[in-house]
Structure 1
């Protein structure tokens, strides 16, 4: 079985994920994991599948033929599995231009690998502005000082609340 990472984007309509799943199944693929979202009227996401080597080209051809979807794929030849310690970081604060860059630059300064980053803006009626919320899962080295990371995040992006918790492996 050969790993394949597929990204899709298209105008949102019922049946998009089913079309993708059917295509993978018909070519002997095994769906490993996925993440999909609806943004600005578009449906987008990615999925990891494992496909028999002899069905790889046929699956790619079938994906390219899916109607209404922009599909891209990357064959993965060696495992890039992450190991080690992980932290979940929850961030909430007033939205402003550049907040994601400020936060991710702190992760970069600590040389941390972002494994997952989800963010959104929500209405905050009591504040009269948008509230920014994000969740990040990061890989950290042994003996990492999460207190220093929390201080740096809160100092760089003022008006944010940060909660960091270790992930049990």
Structure 2
């Protein structure tokens, strides 16, 4: 058996996931995990499938034949990950250019890996201005004091005019 990570991109319309699932099933693939999103009329996602070695190439050919779908594949990385702590934080404030850049710059300084990052801009109910919100899941390397990361993020919150809420887990 071979494990594949498939990324896909298309103009959003009903039936994309169904078409993908049918092709995986037709090639006796096992759907292991997935994540999909709709944004600005576009659809994007990732799927990990387990498939017999002799079915991998026919699966890819069938996926590439689906109309309007851009497909890329990669083999999963199986390198052992170093021990780490998982942390979550959220950001909320008036939207302005550079918020994501400033946050990710701090994370990079500490060699913190972003595992998930979901953000959006929505109209504030009472003001009509755009509000930026984000939820982030990060991996803090062992040996790094998570409080240092939190303090660094909080130190830029005033300049960015955002609130940052932090939740530590393991």
Contact 2:111/2:141, CA 8 A, preserved across alignment: no
Aligned to 2:169: 167
CA distance in 1, matches of 2:132, 2:36: 20
SS in structure 2 of the partner of residue 115 of structure 1: strand
Query: Cα offset for 1:150?
Result: 2.3
Normalising by structure 2, we get a TM-score of 0.89
Query: Cα offset for 1:81?
Result: 5.9
Aligned to 1:37: 37
Contact 2:115/2:138, CA 8 A, preserved across alignment: yes
Query: Cα offset for 1:154?
Result: 2.7
Cα displacement string for residues 97-139 of structure 1 (whole angstroms, at most 9, x for unaligned residues):
1111111111001111111111111111323321111111111
Count of matched residue positions in the alignment of Structure 1 and Structure 2: 167
After the TM superposition, which residues 2-41 of structure 1 pair with which residues of structure 2 at under 5 Å, given as runs? 2-41=2-41
Root-mean-square deviation (Å): 1.7
Aligned to 1:79: 78
CA distance in 1, matches of 2:119, 2:17: 22
Runs of 5+ unmatched residues, structure 2 = none
SS in structure 2 of the partner of residue 62 of structure 1: helix
Moved more, 101-110 or 31-40: 31-40
Cα displacement string for residues 4-50 of structure 1 (whole angstroms, at most 9, x for unaligned residues):
11111111111100000111111121112111111111111111111
Moved over 3 A (4+): 80-83
Query: Cα offset for 1:145?
Result: 2.8
Normalising by structure 1, we get a TM-score of 0.89
